[in-house]
Copies of this chain bind each other. A is one copy, B any other.
């Protein structure tokens, strides 16, 4: 999955109150082997720079030699504006000695996001609608699709639309065009019901994390036609799953899931309608948490800090 992930990021607004501070709010994501003194080292470093911790959350997989994770959201001293100096000092004084993987980011920074879709509009409409409302702290300059259908939906929100068809037998060419189009300009790709499987070559070449929404309660019904298979199996609850994309189809680290009850009365079409509401809620939650630097990956699992 590349090396983008353990690093961390900046502060987004939770509750309206933080908005006004956005300029000076930062987030530190850290992971390392657990040992005594980690919380003290991290919080003392921040205190010594005059930062005020707004929110702290910590998790250990096992206090005896397990992995330690921490997310700190803090308000920097307003005079402390030399970010490179902060990062150099943190690397030297804390991250180096404790062998931490880490990332520091700033609430004022809006991540650049490209949304990929095919023909279904519900996930795209939800993302763009929340984005316009200010609920997604990101820039969304473009919607990319292998079909032309949703161009007007993107236009409705003032977002550019890039059509990159995927002809039968010509996926490598399409992926090459997509890679070239993306360049190094984006920090996150969101597959909002993009119905193409991305090749291992594409995943190795792209330099961003990718979040996908799968329309089942993974690992049940991975792969194609999950609503049809859920109906055939006669499940009483259906689900949707947002996960990071890895080479193995529908098997990447899960960020969020949610479910809804169904009965014998619902046919496949009714499952798909109910499921569409799950998909758009689950995907927007996952994207938001990623944008707020709440998600850490370890192995094939995630830590999602509240």
Give the CA-CA distance A202 to B271 in the complex, in Å. Answer: 36
By a CB distance below 8 angstroms, the chain B residues around A206 are: 2
CB pair A61–B302 under 8 Å, yes or no, is: no
Report A223-254 residues with CB < 8 Å from chain B CB: 231-237, 239, 244-246, 253-254
Contacts of A20-71 to chain B: CB distance below 8 A: 29-31, 33-41, 43-44, 46-47, 50-63, 66-67, 69
* A264-B301 in contact given A219-B233, A235-B254, A257-B236 (Cβ < 8 Å): yes
A69 to B8, CA, bound (A): 9
In contact, B298 and A16 (Cβ under 8 angstroms): no
- Number of copies of this protein chain within its complex: 4
Contacts of A302 in B (CB 8 A): 234, 264
Q: Are A297 and B7 in contact (CB under 8 A)?
A: yes
- Write the nearest CB–CB distance from A14 to chain B, whole angstroms: 4
Residues in chain B near residue A103, CB distance under 8 A: 4, 6
With A5-B296, A14-B62, A265-B306 already in contact, the answer to whether A237 and B235 are too (CB < 8 A) is no
CB-based contact B36/A40 at 8 Å:
no
How close is A169's CB to chain B, nearest CB, in angstroms? Answer: 27
